Amino acid sequence: MRFRLCTIILLFVSTTCFSLDSLKVGDPAPRFVLKNLEGNTLFLSDFCGNLRNDADEPHVVVLSFFATWCVPCMSEIPILEKFEKDFNAERIKVFLIDVGEEEHRIAEYAMKKKINLPILIDNFLTTSKHYGIVNQRGQMRIPQLVIIDKNGLIAYKHAGYNKDMDLREMLIRKIGELLN
């Protein structure tokens, strides 16, 4: 009986964790706490939604889930870097979230590719699962781009990289709407 109860609880928790796989525009963005490559802990609530620090002003947050082995991800990162550089005076934060790799591998890769965007490490895949990047069978869909508005709501979500889509233009349009 005890084994069955534990199994039922485990199944419920697993189902709950992966039910967020269907995040839609307008849904609250799942909160996260992740470390960056410098070892600092960052909270989503440091930047948008119900801010941890009342003195701060909320940002629009762009998350790009990636892995160092993902070729399409590498096409997206330079576009995001240029976008962030060109609009760094705005209330926008762009983060790369590495999905499940070891920190030393990510750091070497970032140095080799001269990546300047902040990289957050999701080595336990918790955030990736909550955002629907990784499903319950461990399959991932990357790159995946998520834009979160100042109120902490999903404003845009897109899986994959489409070379025919003008990513920079889409970011300017979507984020411009959110900042006004």
Domain segments of the chain: what residues?
2-179
DSSP-based three-state secondary structure for 36: strand
Neighbours of 175 (CB within 10 A): 23
pLDDT on residue 98:
97
Low-confidence ranges of the chain (pLDDT < 70): 1-21, 54-55, 164
User: Is the full-model pTM beyond 0.75?
Assistant: yes
Q: Which DSSP letter does residue 140 get? A: B
Q: What is the fold, at CATH topology level, of the domain defined by 2-179?
A: Glutaredoxin (3.40.30)
Q: Report the distance separating Cα 146 and Cα 154, nearest Å.
A: 7
Task: Report the C-alpha gap between 180 and 176 in whole angstroms.
Answer: 6
